[in-house]
Chain A
Amino acid sequence: MRRRQSGDTLVLIEAQLTASQRGLTMAETAASGNFKVIGTRPVRPDGVDKVTGRAKFGADYSFPGMLHGKVLRSPHAHALIKLIKIDKALALPGVKAIVTSADLPEAENKSEQAGEMAVNPRHLSANILARGKVLYDGHAIAAVAATSPHIAEEALRLIEVDYEILPPVMTVDAAMAPGAPILIADLRNKEEGDKPTNVATHYQFKRGDVEAGFKSADFIVEREFNTAMVHQGYIEPHNAVGIYNADGNATIYCSTQGIFDVRLLSSQVLGVEVGKIRVVPAEIGGGFGGKTTVYLEPLSVLLSKKTGAPVKLTMSRAEVLRATGPTSGSKIKIKMGATRDGRLVAAQIWMAYEAGAYPGSPVGAGAMTIVAPYTVENFLIDGYDVVVNRPKTAAYRAPGATNAAFASETVIDELAEKCGIDPLDFRIKNGVQEGSPQVVGPPYKRIGYLQTVEAIKNSPHYKSKLTGANRGRGVASGFWFNAGMQSSAIVNIHPDGTASVVTGSPDIGGSRASMAMIAAEVLGIPMTDVRPVVADTDSIGHTDVTAGSRVTFATGMAVYEAARDAARQLVERAAKAWEKKPEEVELRDGMLHTKGNGVPPVSIKQLAPRFPRTGGPIVGRASLNARGVGPAFACACVDVEVDPETGKVQILRATVAQDAGKAIHPSYVEGQMQGGTAQGIGWALNEEYFYDAKGILRNTGLLDYRMPTCLDLPAIDAIIVEVPNPGHPLGVRGVGEVSIVPPPAAIANAIYRATGVRMTETPMSPPKLLKAILRHRSSAANAKAAG
């Protein structure tokens, strides 16, 4: 980083950094370069465990006398369960217990707050063990506990189920058609009154007069987009070990994004008080939103209760794909208009998302993000949450936003082309900034959208020339809200002056490092002197999920406050020893100083051994419901080469710029940006849930559900933009999600420049792209012949 005096202002010059840095105490520290720890790239505290195989992930736990569980799953997409016979399976030697929905209490049909989302306990329970009806291929029906996983698997084959098969409803079109088979008999929405329906919710967002807007437009583009259902694709399958004790208390060891959510949801499903369940976080092998709910956890407790032994369940990859929570496929009809000089004036959008078997697709978020980067004076956006015979969807990295941006960012590219304006300049011209209204109404606070677009515009990538046949370059932008919610943190000062930081946020991507760094910065001690701990549900205050890009933001805020609390106590302790007022003492660089002349400074290391004789232990604490969430924007540039004979797309180069607010550990920020981009590329080019006519998933392995390997991807350049979030003491926004949003549209735009074909469906896989190229060629030839 270079620095230059400009008048009396210190100006930061970094290719990536275009932010103004005023208005924040700690951010001012950042601007003056005075952070000692934040912004550096130390080795993560849990690193050695992770590279030596010592880290314990959920499936690595075992206990004396432990049994193994397996789940029987529906081979049908839509069927009534007439009868389940378990006697033959129970008679198999080694089988200890079998449970079905008859072993679960009736759950209430209502909407209840659970972590990030509203949850309907009846739907949750029926998804864990089907009650009377199966709604998708892979829907759980029964669970077996046996002395080995192989015996449990054999027992599954001995369970007899009589089904009455019903017609499967696989798409939003089929589900919304008049007379469509109904999935959930008592599902109603506000507009259709008492009529059974597959449409759970209709969302609408409106601004201005959309008809008048289109009248003022010189160019209008109208297209329909379809995106396929895709999976988060975490490498670690779901797992749980449940131990039910004779005293009625239960412990669950599992890999989850939210231990408190597992506790609450398991208590709802099992009908057990929350206080009787303890959830211990194992290391977690990826989640991306998919591990924010429960599948196996309540079953492990139920089977443990029935057998008296610890029970471990793990999913196979096929079970993960068939029966966990992918994200919605969608249909989006979009019409947007711009004036000749490149001003967006109107947008009319209809979007329907597959919720899966139970309501709860991210279509609301899709609707709120689809034009979020732009100041569109007039819009009308309708979103529909539609149940279909597919697994109940779960969150996936900026849920709903990627589908939406695929549609809007492609149409914006087309409008920019019609206006004869560079696609990045078009975005800058219409881009939101501080004070612009959000889709839902309130104005944006300080945001860094334009800075991300400028960063791409100024990148070596965008400035380079792309040459060669069948090659094209595309750009696209993305928006995500980020989340606040509840977090707690404890900072303990040890007798040797080192510290531990205790939080309840499972570390999914290196957050132990950023938590330790924040505490070290506040206390003024080296990061290696801070040991971060992820505690269980009985050992730390409530902390919401590791999701919504919220850990560094909200738990980081709690750690910051807890460290300040500890620092305040250190100051008071030293003041007492020195017979001074606390205001006369300050903590600086790990040393306690008296202001002005006085006692020689004392380090925390010197003070800490004396805690027992000066008033007892020092423990800093903070619990909060975080306010001041700062939204995230990203902009990506992708170069592709299309093989016109096969339709295969090779990514030649990719660059992503994202506003981090403040990057605590820049390497892990880049990692989030690169990982999100890679997932976006997979979504764009290969990944899809492929169901046959009977509604059976045909690609249940990772050979056929093909995610990008390192041979499929180029180096991904990550440009961190830092426009501090005024709502966070360190300027943090959160970086986990938004980078997944731009790639599909950026790739579609690149394919257009390479081939002249506008792709309107994902995945843009070889067969689909080849078909589009051939169609394009023949229509071009026809036009030539006609001309």
Chain B
Amino acid sequence: MATVVIPSLLRKFTGGAERVAADGATLRELIRTLNARFPELTGDLVENNEIRPSIAVSVDGEIATSGMLEPVRPDSEVHFIPALGGG
């Protein structure tokens, strides 16, 4: 199962857990699994079945470039981080 690292302010929705194991071969499947366990969590991450524009997802240290279709491996580590712009 992949490991999802929960952003600090959303840990209240996971009972304080920082790292959550979840199944899924893509981000979409992973988020579906998360949603089943922590229904309040995913609303801040996903909107209309897409990653929110204000959020970037890092899978194994690489910023996802395929949105919800980004592949996730069973040993992947997934982080949700604020999207940011450069100058």
Q: Which residues of A are found within 8 Å of B79, using beta-carbon distances?
A: 440-442
One of B20-28, B29-37, B53-61 at the interface: B53-61
**Quick one: which of A522-579 are within 8 Å of B by CB?**
547-550
Tell me the complex Cα distance, A204–B87, Å. 23
- Whether, in the assembled complex, A74 has its beta carbon less than 8 Å from a beta carbon of chain B, the answer is no
Q: Which residues of B are found within 8 Å of A116, using beta-carbon distances?
A: 83-86
B82 and A113 contact, CB distance less than 8 A: no
Q: Which residues of A are found within 8 Å of B5, using beta-carbon distances?
A: 441
B65 and A627 contact, CB distance less than 8 A: yes
A113 and B53 contact, CB distance less than 8 A: yes
A362 and B85 contact, CB distance less than 8 A: yes
Partner of A547, one of B8, B62, B82, B86: B86
A548 and B81 contact, CB distance less than 8 A: no
Tell me the complex Cα distance, A297–B73, Å. 44
Partner of B86, one of A190, A202, A398, A442: A398
Q: Which residues of A are found within 8 Å of B65, using beta-carbon distances?
A: 484, 625-627
A111 and B54 contact, CB distance less than 8 A: yes
Tell me the complex Cα distance, A399–B77, Å. 27
Q: Which residues of B are found within 8 Å of A400, using beta-carbon distances?
A: 84
Chain B interface extent, by class: 20 to 34
Known: A202-B9, A205-B8, A484-B65. A442 touches B60 (CB 8 A): yes
B87 and A203 contact, CB distance less than 8 A: no
Interface string of B62-87 (1 = CB under 8 A from A): 11011000000000010101111111
Q: Which residues of A are found within 8 Å of B60, using beta-carbon distances?
A: 442
Task: Quote the shortest CB–CB distance from B85 to chain A (angstroms).
Answer: 4
A396 and B87 contact, CB distance less than 8 A: yes
Known: A190-B44, A442-B60, A445-B61. A365 touches B87 (CB 8 A): no
B85 and A443 contact, CB distance less than 8 A: no
Interface string of A375-397 (1 = CB under 8 A from B): 00000000000000000000111
B82 and A550 contact, CB distance less than 8 A: no
Tell me the complex Cα distance, A206–B5, Å. 12
B63 and A629 contact, CB distance less than 8 A: yes
Task: Quote the shortest CB–CB distance from A392 to chain B (angstroms).
Answer: 13
- Which residue of the partner chain B has the closest CB to A119? B53
- Whether, in the assembled complex, A213 has its beta carbon less than 8 Å from a beta carbon of chain B, the answer is no
Q: Which residues of B are found within 8 Å of A205, using beta-carbon distances?
A: 8
- Whether, in the assembled complex, A214 has its beta carbon less than 8 Å from a beta carbon of chain B, the answer is no
Task: Quote the shortest CB–CB distance from B82 to chain A (angstroms).
Answer: 4
Task: Quote the shortest CB–CB distance from B7 to chain A (angstroms).
Answer: 8
A118 and B52 contact, CB distance less than 8 A: yes
Task: Quote the shortest CB–CB distance from B66 to chain A (angstroms).
Answer: 8
B62 and A628 contact, CB distance less than 8 A: yes
Q: Which residues of B are found within 8 Å of A398, using beta-carbon distances?
A: 86-87
Task: Quote the shortest CB–CB distance from A336 to chain B (angstroms).
Answer: 19
**Quick one: which of B1-21 are within 8 Å of A by CB?**
5, 7-9
B58 and A547 contact, CB distance less than 8 A: no
Known: A440-B81, A441-B79. A289 touches B87 (CB 8 A): yes
Q: Which residues of B are found within 8 Å of A482, using beta-carbon distances?
A: 86
A399 and B62 contact, CB distance less than 8 A: no
A548 and B86 contact, CB distance less than 8 A: yes
A111 and B85 contact, CB distance less than 8 A: no
- Whether, in the assembled complex, A368 has its beta carbon less than 8 Å from a beta carbon of chain B, the answer is yes
Tell me the complex Cα distance, A526–B1, Å. 51
B86 and A483 contact, CB distance less than 8 A: yes
- Whether, in the assembled complex, A737 has its beta carbon less than 8 Å from a beta carbon of chain B, the answer is yes
Tell me the complex Cα distance, A78–B71, Å. 48
- Which residue of the partner chain B has the closest CB to A484? B63
Task: Quote the shortest CB–CB distance from B29 to chain A (angstroms).
Answer: 21
Interface string of B43-57 (1 = CB under 8 A from A): 010010000111000
Q: Which residues of A are found within 8 Å of B54, using beta-carbon distances?
A: 111, 118, 201
Interface string of A602-640 (1 = CB under 8 A from B): 000000000000000000000001111100000000000
B63 and A368 contact, CB distance less than 8 A: no
A111 and B86 contact, CB distance less than 8 A: no
Most B CB within 10 A of own CB, among A117, A288, A626, A737:
A117
Q: Which residues of A are found within 8 Å of B82, using beta-carbon distances?
A: 203, 364-365, 368
Known: A442-B77, A628-B62. A395 touches B87 (CB 8 A): yes
Partner of B53, one of A111, A368, A628: A111
Provide a sorted-by-A list of 27 A–B residue pairs whose CB atoms are within 8 angstroms: A111-B52, A111-B53, A114-B53, A116-B85, A118-B52, A201-B54, A203-B9, A204-B9, A232-B87, A288-B87, A362-B84, A362-B85, A364-B82, A395-B86, A397-B87, A442-B61, A442-B77, A445-B61, A481-B84, A481-B86, A484-B63, A484-B65, A548-B86, A627-B62, A629-B63, A736-B86, A736-B87
A residues touching B (Cβ–Cβ < 8 Å)?
111-119, 190, 201-206, 232, 287-290, 292, 362, 364-365, 368, 395-400, 440-445, 480-484, 547-550, 625-629, 727, 736-737
Beyond contacts A483-B85, A547-B86: 18 other A-B pairs, Cβ-Cβ < 8 A, are: A113-B53, A117-B83, A118-B54, A204-B7, A205-B8, A289-B87, A362-B84, A362-B85, A365-B82, A397-B87, A398-B87, A440-B81, A441-B77, A442-B58, A442-B61, A548-B86, A549-B86, A736-B87
B residues touching A (Cβ–Cβ < 8 Å)?
5, 7-9, 44, 47, 52-54, 58, 60-63, 65-66, 77, 79, 81-87
Sorted from nearest, which 7 A-B pairs have the closest CB atoms? A548-B86, A289-B87, A118-B53, A116-B85, A364-B82, A442-B61, A625-B65
